[in-house]
């Protein structure tokens, strides 16, 4: 079958997935987000390039927006709409476009997790300077600001003064979250279908963010079954077949920070024996063969 990988050629995950699918006897094509095109007319819907239009399955690697401001919003909307229409036309997409939309939007995904009874950080989303200052005060005068769309720890900052809160509010939508003291590490659990793989991410000295992309150190860890169950519940809540679930050891129990529907596993691979790329490739194949 033709497996089309949606992402950028040369990336660690793209290249390893391409090798894995090739070993399984499949034809592999890589399509960048920027190359996606679509047409609507009397003949119906058409998609470009051909590798997208004729794919037996599309596996998504990377996120759909690269610009900023209105340009980024238009990119995200069109790319996700095109994927949704491709899926509606019968092409399986992993993860599903609706799942990607939910996971990309931190507010929406967190709201769904909370509604499902999963413990999440106290979070306030507001617009404007005065509202941001009030939210900062309600969160105890110390909180974390995150971009509504974003990943890998980029754009996240600690807000410790009303002037910083004002500046965040001046930028439009302010996504503010309580700062939960932690022992310098959190958990990343990769859920792949029925399987789950975990690591501890240890922050570098002087850094509170644990992201591997920011220097966090992966460590092997044995995770209690109840925490794995939380990760599975979180992935299922947003509908993800493959997901990275970030969990913080809070004072009142595990707290789910977010669910990533296009998770990385390079750091995790260094501390587990299972070939994670093979696990992901098999899960993508199952989506097609079970259809």
Is the pLDDT confidence value at 270 over 80?
yes
Sheet holding 157-159, edge to edge: 123-127, 173-178, 143-146, 157-159
Cα distance between residue 266 and residue 277, in whole Å? 9
Domain(s) of CATH 3.30.1490.20: residues in the chain: 123-178
Chain-centroid distance of CA 137 in Å reads 29
User: Are the C-beta atoms of residues 165 and 159 closer than 8 Å to each other?
Assistant: yes
Cα distance between residue 265 and residue 125, in whole Å? 30
Query: What CATH topology corresponds to 182-279?
Result: D-amino Acid Aminotransferase; Chain A, domain 1 (3.30.470)
For 279, residues 6+ apart whose C-beta sits below 8 A from its C-beta are: 192, 193, 195, 197
Q: Using the structure block, give the residue that is written with the tokens 């939380």.
A: 230
pLDDT of residue 267: 94
The two tokens of residue 143 are: 């909180």
Q: Would you tell me how many other CB atoms lie within 10 Å of the CB of residue 64? A: 23
pLDDT of residue 153: 56
pLDDT of residue 70: 57
User: Are the C-beta atoms of residues 127 and 176 closer than 8 Å to each other?
Assistant: no
pLDDT of residue 67: 52
Domain(s) of CATH 3.40.50.20: residues in the chain: 2-94
pLDDT of residue 210: 83
Average pLDDT, the chain: 92
pLDDT of residue 69: 57
Tell me which of 3.40.50.1220, 3.30.1340.30, 3.90.1310.10, 3.40.50.20 is the CATH number of domain 2-94. Answer: 3.40.50.20
pLDDT of residue 208: 79
pLDDT of residue 151: 61
Percentage of residues in the chain having pLDDT higher than 90: 76
The two tokens of residue 141 are: 């005068």
Domain(s) of CATH 3.30.470.20: residues in the chain: 182-279
Mean pLDDT of 168-183: 89
Tell me which of 3.50.50.60, 3.40.50.300, 2.10.70.10, 3.30.1490.20 is the CATH number of domain 123-178. Answer: 3.30.1490.20
pLDDT of residue 207: 78
Lowest average pLDDT, out of 95-99, 112-116, 148-152, 217-221, goes to: 148-152
Q: How many residues does the chain have?
A: 291
Is the pLDDT confidence value at 152 over 70?
no
* Three-state secondary structure call for residue 20: helix
Look at 269 and 156; give whichever has higher pLDDT.
269
Place 247 in a pLDDT band, splitting at 50, 70 and 90: very high
User: Are the C-beta atoms of residues 247 and 196 closer than 8 Å to each other?
Assistant: no
Q: What is the pLDDT of residues 115-144, one digit of tens each?
A: 999 999 999 999 999 999 999 999 999 899
Cα distance between residue 57 and residue 281, in whole Å? 11
pLDDT of residue 150: 66
User: Are the C-beta atoms of residues 41 and 92 closer than 8 Å to each other?
Assistant: no
Place 155 in a pLDDT band, splitting at 50, 70 and 90: confident
Is the pLDDT confidence value at 65 over 60?
no
User: Are the C-beta atoms of residues 2 and 27 closer than 8 Å to each other?
Assistant: yes
* Three-state secondary structure call for residue 279: helix
The pTM of the whole model exceeds 0.75: yes
Is the pLDDT confidence value at 64 over 70?
no
Mean pLDDT of 274-284: 98
């Amino acid at each position: 079958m033709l497996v089309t990988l949606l992402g950028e050629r040369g990336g660690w995950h793209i290249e390893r997935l391409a090798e894995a699918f090739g070993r399984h006897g499949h034809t592999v094509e890589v399509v960048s987000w920027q190359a996606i095109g679509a047409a609507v007319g009397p003949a119906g819907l058409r998609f470009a390039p051909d590798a997208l239009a004729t794919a037996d399955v599309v596996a998504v690697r990377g996120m759909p927006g690269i610009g900023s401001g209105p340009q980024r919003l238009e990119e995200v909307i069109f790319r996700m709409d095109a994927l949704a229409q491709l899926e509606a036309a019968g092409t399986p997409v992993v993860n599903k476009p609706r799942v990607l939309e939910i996971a990309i939007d931190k507010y929406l995904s967190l709201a769904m997790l909370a509604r499902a009874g999963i413990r999440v950080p106290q979070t306030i989303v507001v617009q404007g300077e005065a509202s941001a200052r009030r939210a900062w005060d309600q969160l105890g005068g110390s909180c974390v600001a995150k971009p509504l769309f974003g990943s890998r720890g980029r754009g996240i900052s600690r807000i410790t003064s009303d002037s910083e809160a004002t500046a965040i509010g001046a930028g439009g939508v302010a996504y503010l979250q309580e700062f939960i003291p932690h022992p310098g590490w959190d958990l990343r659990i990769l859920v792949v279908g029925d399987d789950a793989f975990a690591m501890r991410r240890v922050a570098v000295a002087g850094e509170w963010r644990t992201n591997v992309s920011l220097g966090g150190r992966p460590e092997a860890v044995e995770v209690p079954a109840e925490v794995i169950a939380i990760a599975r519940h979180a992935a299922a809540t947003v509908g993800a077949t493959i997901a990275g679930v970030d969990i913080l050891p809070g004072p009142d129990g595990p707290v789910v920070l977010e669910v990533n529907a296009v998770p990385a596993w390079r750091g995790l691979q260094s501390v587990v024996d299972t070939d994670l790329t093979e696990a992901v490739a098999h899960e993508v194949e199952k989506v097609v063969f079970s259809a």
